Structure 1
């Protein structure tokens, strides 16, 4: 059945065939569907942003095109006739198909919106790698947030298309793809006893305290470090305030603190700080790519393919993960 916003051109019609038969006006179908949901023409008009008279005209035109009465009015609102009941599922399908087509066209025109939490984290490297892999032809918009706490809502509403964050359990209505396991480094001042080592066994940190002023209460990264501290007897000091990265590295460089940072964390250079890889096992931070399964942005599928193509699964022989994260990151990678 052909859809159109225009009537047939004037001309003779075969006997017994209604003018416009086989050519439905999608605006009229939408008006009919709105009335069936709201029951009143006035409420349907408000939803569609047109006058009540316009709704009435559209439905009258649809009934004329179909050659059947679809609605009957009463004091309690519009009621479906038997023909209206039969047509309703088809009307719903037509409206949904039109909405999906319009959404697809809008998505093709706008940038892929990606939440990376912070442009100094490993997530930005994943996005840059994707951008380069697509020949720099993908329009990307970077969005900052509060990690998983805000990503749940923005992904559900469609204000972002994908988010890189730690996801240790199922997030209702969203799909999670394992993206990257980032090794942890120890950050110390040059006068620290461990500063001259090329690598440090994680167990050597038992009984010590690391300073993590950016570990916001309730965040997925604060929870991760709580698991890490419990597993290796490491104290986690979240005292602040958090004055930013420059203050953070200067405090460590002055020998007042030591901390843990991701291997790919982009910290400001400081002459008195040293970064040392942790080993035996290597604590790894689990980055996941989170998205809505009904998001149809064409570049999103390319991003997912790029991320899954470069992913290397968790190796329990040499790496450490909190127990809640292991199911998603254990070979082989899978979505949920």
Structure 2
């Protein structure tokens, strides 16, 4: 059934004239007459009777009106739900307690008028998130595409912010009393990062980190959730993990876990934002401006090679600094 014909019928019924309905809908009176005639043929009934003052509903038209009005309103709601600027800004984050979610929450607190919908796609392959941005299913995604060949020409990637890493340990760990640590001090210690997914950006990150600093990154076993990870750290004298400085973790007071900054160089997980190159949601400009205002990680800083070279479609790359110079 033609939804434009339904809209024409509803407005003509409410206004009592085809001409006024046509003016409101931005079409000719002839177009409205044709739409309603086609609708009557499809239904097999007369919907209007002509009068000296315009038109009035027949009994069949009166019976049909509430249903037609409901359908037309539903179509309008459906269109509004996907039209940029008339719906919430949908941004994908890796987790509700991740640094990305924290940064978005900080922005929303400063701009509470923003209609923001924070979603989690729950996919490991960043190419799936890129496809969702390209299709308009989401407006942006905090993902990093390390292979420039998979980035479509109408999708862009910008540097979002730096996430310095911290070592998280329990009270019985040999490094628990340290106030700061260098990467060299982490050697030979078991750094447990369960659930590193193949083809994910963090898999590439930890592979390069282990190679450059001769670290023992252990991804053994499935990831049963943050609670199990934190329980294990609290009870262990030899297991540690790495977390982002902005990542939120909550544990019981008797766990007595310690977050220790890693410096000289600062180990940086660079976070990126994937966004469309055309017809972006109007709310994205405020988000990107906020991201560009965030402070960079303390120098000297280490970043993986894919974060220090230009990538196709990338914008907002930070200036060169640290132990690995960044190309503009």
TM-score range, shorter chain: 0.5 to 0.7
The one of 184, 189, 201 equivalent to 2:182 is 201
Looking at structure 2, the residues matched to 103 and 241 of structure 1 have their Cα atoms a distance apart, in angstroms, of: 41
- 1:156 corresponds to 2:138: no
SS in 2 for 1:113: strand
The aligned residue for residue 272 of structure 1 is 256
Q: TM-score, normalised by structure 1?
A: 0.65
Q: 1:282–1:320: 8 Å Cα contact kept in structure 2?
A: yes
- In structure 1, the gaps of 5 or more residues are 10-22, 29-49, 55-101
Alignment of 1:21-170 (within 5 A): 106-134=83-111, 136-145=112-121, 146=123, 148-170=126-148
Looking at structure 2, the residues matched to 298 and 210 of structure 1 have their Cα atoms a distance apart, in angstroms, of: 42
Shift of 1:189: 1.5
The aligned residue for residue 175 of structure 1 is 156
Q: 1:104–1:296: 8 Å Cα contact kept in structure 2?
A: no
The one of 274, 281, 289 equivalent to 2:265 is 281
- 1:213 corresponds to 2:201: no
Q: 2:161–2:272: 8 Å Cα contact kept in structure 1?
A: yes
Q: TM-score, normalised by structure 2?
A: 0.66
The aligned residue for residue 226 of structure 1 is 207
Shift of 1:276: 0.6
Looking at structure 2, the residues matched to 322 and 139 of structure 1 have their Cα atoms a distance apart, in angstroms, of: 34
Shift of 1:156: 0.9
Looking at structure 2, the residues matched to 160 and 282 of structure 1 have their Cα atoms a distance apart, in angstroms, of: 33
SS in 1 for 2:95: coil
Shift of 1:192: 1.2
Q: How many residues align?
A: 245
Please, which moves more after superposition, 323-332 or 255-264?
Answer: 323-332
The aligned residue for residue 297 of structure 1 is 281
- In structure 2, the gaps of 5 or more residues are 1-6, 9-17, 20-25, 32-37, 43-78, 311-316
In the TM superposition, structure 1's runs of 4+ consecutive aligned residues that sit over 4 Å from their partners are: 102-105
CA 1:332–1:236: 2 relative to 1, 3 Å: closer
Shift of 1:297: 1.5
CA 1:120–1:214: 2 relative to 1, 3 Å: farther
Looking at structure 2, the residues matched to 319 and 250 of structure 1 have their Cα atoms a distance apart, in angstroms, of: 31
Q: 1:176–1:291: 8 Å Cα contact kept in structure 2?
A: yes
Looking at structure 2, the residues matched to 105 and 120 of structure 1 have their Cα atoms a distance apart, in angstroms, of: 27
